[in-house]
Amino acid sequence: MAKIAICGYGTVGSGVAEVITENADNIARNAAEEVEIKYILDTREFPGDPFEKYIVHDFSIIEKDPEVSIVIETIGGTKIAYEFTKRALLAGKSVVTSNKELVATKGHELIAIAKKNNLNYLFEASVGGGIPIIRPITQCLAANKIDEVYGILNGTTNYILTEMIKNNASFDDALHQAQSNGYAELDPTADIEGLDAARKICILSDLCFGKHVNPADVRAEGIRGVTSADVEYAKRLNCKIKLLGRALRTGHDTATAYVAPHLVSKSSLLSNVDGVMNGIVVHGNALGNTMFYGAGAGKRPTASAVVADVIDAVKHVKARKYLDWDDAPAGYFTDSAYVASRWYVRAATSLQQIGWAFDKVNFVTYPGAAADEYAFATDVYDENTVRKLTSGMTVRSMFRILD
């Protein structure tokens, strides 16, 4: 019998309690041991809640109870969550989390503490919600040298873009709709500005390439700049606009990562990853491309990933999972501006000026396009070059095209 404590009884925490109770038989079969909730830590009371009797308010009760072997951290943020994770590990308990911010910023340190104490710090739910991605990368692709990983990592922004594409909604209307459907928070900044995706691409980069990337180093461009006009032009390029996080090796022991809207071809799998779903593509030197798709957020999907980690932790008590990365040497992280791609450009300018700047572009238009602008797809350039080439134009939008 494995006894666990859930810290943070919000959406994910309550989902974990639900899934552990509902699927108890399956879980016991897979963990080869029954898994039982002993405590749920939260500052609030939950009168009438089915799990009310487990509620405690003092972390030290959990910390000091030797029966608790696994602590689930679903608090979020990097303050209390960090403190409790550290204390749990130092008290000899494995920790499972869905907290991407904490993993992206302090993961390496917390793994080191876990390692030293022969415990596990597991975080499958931190990227892609319920989608199995951390374990496939670290185990199933273990025979590969991974070159690149990218994908739709944020469900809120994907929902907004999908509404703009499918239902011709404006950005503001789509955001409002996401909020009233519970897909976007009241303060949606972390999603809209690409910060959430940046944390996730850091974790993926850490695991795929084995070196720590600091979220603060990652350039994140969100979707506030995507307009209905961009959506229409993109359609004529047979593309959809998707917010992608992307990390790639850029040379011998160098890598980069960034978050930005991209034009994605409609014939690609990612283009059909719509609504709140996530899709993550990994390229390995033996396997080629592989993609993982599923619900990137939500109570039960995320809980599903957390509980999978709990099962793994139960099976590996006192046996470490190999889940780790090194500190990055100086110069490891390079500027994503050097990554070359084709570009979509929408600018108020003249044909003549475009002709001066570019050898060859592919123009598109649509009924209702603004009369004072041109939209076109360029050849392959790095970001600095395309900025230089368009410097004489009033650029209204400029996004990479993923080929």
Q: Name the segment binding a second copy (CB under 8 A); options: 39-47, 75-83, 134-142, 151-159.
A: 134-142
Out of 144, 334, 365, 385, point to the residue binding a second copy (CB under 8 A): 144
272 binds a second copy per the rule CB under 8 A: yes
Binding-residue pattern over the window 48 to 87 for a second copy, x denoting contact by CB under 8 A? ----------------------------------------
42 CB-near residues (< 8 Å, 6+ apart): 7, 8, 9, 13, 55, 57
143 binds a second copy per the rule CB under 8 A: yes
* Sign of torsion over alpha carbons 215, 219, 224, 228: negative
Alpha helices in 276-369 (DSSP H): 299-315, 351-357
| Residue entry with tokens 């943070």 | 8
Partnered with residue 263 across adjacent β-strands are 241, 401
Catalytic entry in 38, 93, 100, 200: 200
The number of residues that bind a second copy (CB under 8 A) is 59
142 binds a second copy per the rule CB under 8 A: yes
Which lies closer to a second copy via its Cβ, residue 167 or residue 189? Answer: 167
Distance CA 332, CA 250 (A): 9
Among residues 265, 296, 300, the alpha carbon closest in space to that of 280 is found at 296
Distance CA 156, CA 160 (A): 6
Binding-residue pattern over the window 107 to 126 for a second copy, x denoting contact by CB under 8 A? -----------------x--
Task: Give min distance, CB of 20 to a second copy, in A.
Answer: 8
Out of 139, 214, 238, 362, point to the residue binding a second copy (CB under 8 A): 139
32 binds a second copy per the rule CB under 8 A: yes
Q: Name the segment binding a second copy (CB under 8 A); options: 62-70, 169-177, 263-271, 376-384.
A: 263-271
Q: Name the segment binding a second copy (CB under 8 A); options: 198-206, 216-224, 309-317, 333-341.
A: 309-317
362 binds a second copy per the rule CB under 8 A: no
Out of 21, 78, 117, 138, point to the residue binding a second copy (CB under 8 A): 138
CA R_g for the chain = 23
From residue 334, how far is each of 106, 331, 339 by CA, in Å? 21, 7, 10
Which lies closer to a second copy via its Cβ, residue 142 or residue 348? Answer: 142
| Residue entry with tokens 């572009």 | 361
27 binds a second copy per the rule CB under 8 A: yes
Instruction: Specify whether the CB–CB gap between 77 and 101 falls below 8 A.
Output: yes
21 binds a second copy per the rule CB under 8 A: no
Q: What is the number of residues in the chain?
A: 403
238 binds a second copy per the rule CB under 8 A: no
DSSP 108-140: HHHHHHHHHTT--EE-GGGSSTTS--HHIIIII
Which lies closer to a second copy via its Cβ, residue 273 or residue 364? Answer: 273
Binding to a second copy in span 154-213, by CB under 8 A: 210
Q: Residue 5: how many CA atoms within 13 Å on its side-chain side?
A: 27
321 included as an active-site residue: no
31 binds a second copy per the rule CB under 8 A: yes
Binding to a second copy in span 276-305, by CB under 8 A: 284-295, 298, 300-301, 303-305
140 binds a second copy per the rule CB under 8 A: yes
DSSP 355-385: HHH-S--EEE--TT--TT-EEEEEEEE-HHH
132 binds a second copy per the rule CB under 8 A: yes
Give the helix, strand, coil percentages of the chain, each rounded to 5: 40, 25, 35
311 binds a second copy per the rule CB under 8 A: yes
* Sign of torsion over alpha carbons 183, 186, 192, 198: negative
Task: Report the interface residues with a second copy, using CB under 8 A.
Answer: 15, 19-20, 22-23, 26-27, 29-32, 124, 130-132, 135-136, 138-145, 210, 267-269, 271-273, 284-295, 298, 300-301, 303-308, 310-312, 315, 319, 322
- Name the residues annotated as catalytic: 200
